[in-house]
Structure 1
Amino acid sequence: MARLRVHGIPFRDWSAIGDNQQVDLAAALNGGRALACSDEHFGRMSNILNPNRGENMGDGWETARRRTPGNDWVIVALGHPGEIERIVVDTLHFKGNYPDSCSIQAAYVKGGTDSQIETQSLFWRELLPSQKLQMHAEHEFAEQIAPLGPVTHVRLNIFPDGGVSRLRLFGKVAR
């Protein structure tokens, strides 16, 4: 057998997580899912939620160079609603093709289809204001995070384009 692919959403016993325990709410192993993105030219959007650090550029998410105004983005559904306290944006392996900066918007979404969520995300509140990024580095943010309360979805905006190896959203589970 060359490959075995299992599709579905991982089960996590969220009741076993302590009230003050920080967990990566966006991790694929915790049920986090990449729902939509502006471009998947060089890598799949779901790669940014994978465990461990990226093995190479192909193990991340990279968009094509933009020739028009605007920016690229990806929308992530968290594995469980929670209050985000620490964010890690990793540009490992992206040296000449990393984004200049990033920001994150977030919302507590009840219902709706993926396409409806994509449209709504334009109007979500700012969780992380624009932050400069560097090549081939882990960028950690805590003090810069706005206190929005519990959220279920985030939109990572990268300016103007480029590659991201991993996105980690650490926080406490909302009960």
Structure 2
Amino acid sequence: MSSSTRDHGGEQPAPEFVQMNNLVCESVGGKVLFATDDWFAAAENLLKKGDPEFKTGLFTEYGKWMDGWETRRKRIPGHDWCIIELGVPGVIHGFHVDTHFFTGNYAPRISVQGACLQENISLPTRGDRIGSAATEEDFKAVERLHSEKWEYLLEMTELTPGYAESCHSYFHVNSKERWTHIRLNIYPDGGIARFKVYGIGQRDWSSCGPNDLEDLLSMANGSVCLGYSDAHYGHPRNLIGT
């Protein structure tokens, strides 16, 4: 079993786990496999490496342009959710949820579930999803994962609006298990700017041959930055792949 605790939000110093590697960042191969709805902004934005932006006066044909994942108001039972494949499978130490610029339209509550899947997942390819929602074919394909039964790493909890003093929420995860996929649930709908999953990579060494050469400092093989003297122009963890 896994458990999680909320650390804090706002302008207080971030918890120590943010010095670890972001296992779902798009720059290390993290990707969204499925989302129930991408009407205002696509779920892929959650995994961007850069900070969220706000562009005054910029609109799409569906509404205000937002740098994050934003769904429509639910008119049917249920809630919105997405499936994320970790770019680097590993042990998760914490979540960082950023609602930056989502003020009246932020997702009020979230929960996070996880799984360690051995087989390859085959789901319909996602294209430019803005202005769309999952089709019946998409739902039938994702049902095979039984993601609603995945283990909860974070039970349902409240988020805070996307003002500078309240947009950051951090959640510690108490788990020593290896995870490959995440299900991010938002209740019932709304927007999140960024979602980061911090932890330590854990390689499946059974797939490596005895004579294979491996980068022992790669984050995929379990390396993590333990300390540094300065990170003003860039975090030293960039050296190992994040």
Q: What is the TM-score when the length of structure 1 is the normalising length?
A: 0.82
Name the SS of the counterpart of 2:45 in structure 1. helix
Measure how far apart 1:131 and its partner are.
Answer: 1.3
Give the total of aligned pairs.
Answer: 153
Assess if the C-alpha contact under 8 Å between 1:88 and 1:139 holds in 2: yes
Structure 2: 5+ residue stretches without partners = 1-18, 55-64, 124-140, 204-242
Other-structure match for 1:113 = 122
Measure how far apart 1:120 and its partner are.
Answer: 2.2
Q: 1:80 to 1:26 in 2, by over 3 A?
A: same
Measure how far apart 1:172 and its partner are.
Answer: 0.6
Name the SS of the counterpart of 2:74 in structure 1. coil
Match 1:100 to one of 94, 108, 111? 108
Q: 1:84 to 1:51 in 2, by over 3 A?
A: same
Match 1:129 to one of 143, 155, 166? 155
Structure 1: 5+ residue stretches without partners = 1-20
Q: Deviations over 1:27-55 (max 9, x none)?
A: 00011001100100000111000012210
Give the letter aligned to residue 140 of structure 1.
Y
Q: CA RMSD in A?
A: 1.6
Match 2:85 to one of 66, 77, 90? 77
Q: Deviations over 1:90-149 (max 9, x none)?
A: 11110111111100000001223133476421111101111110110011111xx24261
Name the SS of the counterpart of 2:146 in structure 1. helix
Q: Percent identity over the alignment?
A: 37
Measure how far apart 1:62 and its partner are.
Answer: 0.1
Structure with greater strand share of residues: 1
Other-structure match for 1:3 = none
- After superposition, residues 11-160 of structure 1 pair within 5 angstroms as 22-56=20-54, 58-111=66-119, 112-114=121-123, 115-116=141-142, 119-136=145-162, 137-142=167-172, 145-147=173-175, 149-160=177-188
Q: Structure 1 runs of 4+ off > 4 angstroms?
A: none
Match 1:169 to one of 190, 197, 222? 197
Give the letter aligned to residue 151 of structure 1.
W
Assess if the C-alpha contact under 8 Å between 2:112 and 2:155 holds in 1: yes
Q: Distance in 2 between matches of 1:30 and 1:53?
A: 16
Larger radius of gyration: 2
Name the SS of the counterpart of 1:59 in structure 2. coil
Assess if the C-alpha contact under 8 Å between 2:115 and 2:180 holds in 1: yes
Q: Distance in 2 between matches of 1:40 and 1:116?
A: 16
Q: Distance in 2 between matches of 1:58 and 1:128?
A: 26
